[in-house]
Amino acid sequence: MSVDGWNTVLVLGGIRSGKSEFAESLVADAPVVRYVATAPQGDPEDTEWATRLATHRARRPGSWTTEETAGEPRRLADVLASAEPNETLLVDDLGGWVTVLLDPEYQPADDVATIAELAEAIRSCAARVVLVSPEVGLSLVPTTPLGRAFTDALGAANRAVADACDAVVLVVAGQPAWLKPAAATAATVAPTGSASVGSVRTAARHAAPSQGAPGRADAALGDAEPTPEVQLPEVLTHTPPVAPNQEPGNPWAAPTMALPMVATGLVIQPGMELPMPDEYAGPQAVDRLATLDVPGAGLGVLDRVVGFAAATQGTSSPVAWGSVRVLLLNGDHAGGASAGTVAGESARRAAQARAGRGALARLAAEAGASLQVVDTPAAAPMETRPALAGEQVESALRYGWRLAEQAADAGVQLLVLGACGAGTEAAAAAVLAATAGAEPPSVLGRVITESGEIDDAAWMVRCAAVRDALHRTRRSPRSAKDVLAELGGGDVAVATGVLLGATARRVPVLLDGPVGLAAGMVSRDLAGQARHWCLLADHGQHPAVRLAADVLGLTPLLDLRLDLGEGANALVALPMLRSVLALAAALPVHPSLTGDADPNGPDEPEREYADDEPAYTGPDYTDPEFVEPEPAGPGPTRTGADEPASGWRAG
């Protein structure tokens, strides 16, 4: 299942019912959408049809890509089968697809087999897919053979696709009624161009009743009890099992939980009230460490790990993080920000991580963590124009929030945030300069080439790009969304959404690298509570990370000076952090504090001598009247050749 609780959904509706607008609203929060157009071009002289197509194209955001399958209907199944898990596809619509399928140009064609192939491709598709189709079952039987063939084929296609999809919704007069699953809910579609997943969720009010349910008309007139409000099917709430050392009745004890005061899918805006970690559990856990039975002075600075885990888990006896997920954000920044990087290197790193190869994937496997590569919108050259459009920022924030929701629903107890895009360091430096007043040269790290050499020329190009971007935006607002749009780009925006969503679901985040820290800086204006759910393992000697950590109040736990890439540095430290938590949870209280043992230690048994072993006849050092004799001269002194000395010491 996807982040919304469904992976594939079929949207049915009549002509001008609003089905396409509703389908577009379901994918409005995805950073990148592939629009699969199935309809043929039609007669060039048919102006009405051309106007319809132009209206559809005008509604699509500029970030969407379009793919045509009208030339070969069988290719639609291939497109779905080859889609990646991180992709979002909108197929509009199956009516045009059936029209091409029945075209004599493609005969003889086995339309039944082709429909079966499409249904199987939908079942096995790893991407998020929304399909639109006309509902023809309510109309009159056509009077022409061609019309009857079309309705029969489309009806068969709708039935096969509906059976293969996770969810099915029927749109009538702009009002969606969820048919599958049975407990799904309806939502009101916003006007054209303004619909979004957030608005759809916010408008959700009534559960879809079963056919013939009594009291519907009376309820509509206000004479019956109103239908209780329920969530849309894509919003799932996961309640993990209670750990052995946690109290079931304590809501803070659950590592993840739904936030009752904030509805998922809300409009992300400044001043959001998100939860804070338990302010009492952390200090109590650190105080408890002083009572444990350890031979040395304790955990040193790593006691902060115990305090952080205790506060975020809501218990003074925290447990080690079991389920960990790594989110690797992949999004490039064009222009001078990426000076000195090899073209295609970030895509290679992302593909390497997806294939389970490379440092990050190996470390994730060693730590038992899942790895999710997330493609984010590419950023335009910030020195000449905004990195992202305002709509893209909103979508990226919601997408990051939903990634955190997906992790919480899966029972993830810790998120590790990393990035591998080109130009991320310069984008993070620009965000820090805009939010903390930093000078770009002071927060931009040296550019290291593949051969290990320092590229000062590329470093100067990056500095110039950040300087020009700041000059271009010198009169622009400095709100969180404005900074993301002008300077931050897609990866920083998605990372900001991840931090906010994780905070709402009480999931701690292990930061690593400039992108995560830049997102932490931006999230302050949206929800100041987010930084309290973040942990920084190592700053890696990166100047931007050092400054952002200081502003956010995040003290690095280690100083290993690692530079394995964002995310990998944190995974190196993760086993140590887990060991600290496991040790703190398993060690007992020192016996001296329990009152069950002698404070002077256990009594030693008297030594028993063998029959042939001579007993000791020397002085009794335990006698209070014993006085050690003074030596006769320098060096050790003995009283006889065979007799043991009564006492000796170096002169």
Token pair, residue 205, equals 């009010």
User: Nearest 5°: phi and psi at 475?
Assistant: -105, 5
Helices 514-526, 424-436: axis angle to 10 degrees equals 40
* Burial class of residue 137, CB neighbours in 10 A (0-12, 13-18, 19+): exposed
Strands (E), 141-294: 167-172, 175-180
Give residue 393's identity as a one-letter amino acid code.
Answer: V
Report the number of secondary-structure helices (H) and strands (E) in the chain: 21, 12
Distance CA 100, CA 75 (A): 12
Long-range contacts of 458-463 (CB under 8 A, 24+ apart): 458/339, 458/340, 459/339, 459/340, 461/336, 461/339, 461/340, 462/336, 462/337, 462/339, 462/340, 462/423, 462/425, 462/426, 462/429
Structure tokens at 537: 């393992």
Residue 621, CA distances (Å) to 42, 606, 618 in order: 112, 16, 9
Exactly one of 24, 394, 425, 566 is catalytic; which is it? Answer: 566
**Tokens matching residue 386:** 């905004």
Burial of residue 535, with CB atoms counted within 10 A of its CB: 0-12 exposed, 13-18 middle, 19 or more buried: buried
Q: Are 554 and 510 in contact (CB under 8 A)?
A: no
415 touches 407 (CB < 8 A):
yes
DSSP 19-79: HHHHHHHHTTT-SS-EEEE-S----TT-HHHHHHHHHHHHHS-TT-EEEE-TT-TTHHHHH
**Which tokens go with 138?**
């309510």
Tokens describing residue 222: 């206000």
Of 461, 347, 334, 432, the C-alpha closest to 388 is 334
Run of H or E including 329: strand 324-330
Q: 407 is written with which tokens? A: 């992790």
3-state SS string over 591-613? HHHCCCCCCCCCCCCCCCCCCCC
Output phi, psi for 379, to 5 deg. Answer: -100, 140
Q: Are 332 and 346 in contact (CB under 8 A)?
A: yes
Reference 525, options 481, 573, 490; nearest CA is 481
Report the alpha-carbon distance of residue 198 to residue 493 in Å, rounded. 17
Six-digit token pair at 131?
């399909």
Report phi then psi at 207, rounded to 5.
-75, 145
Look up 67 and say whether it is catalytic. Answer: no
**Residues 325 and 369: beta-carbon distance below 8 Å:** yes
Catalytic residues: 566
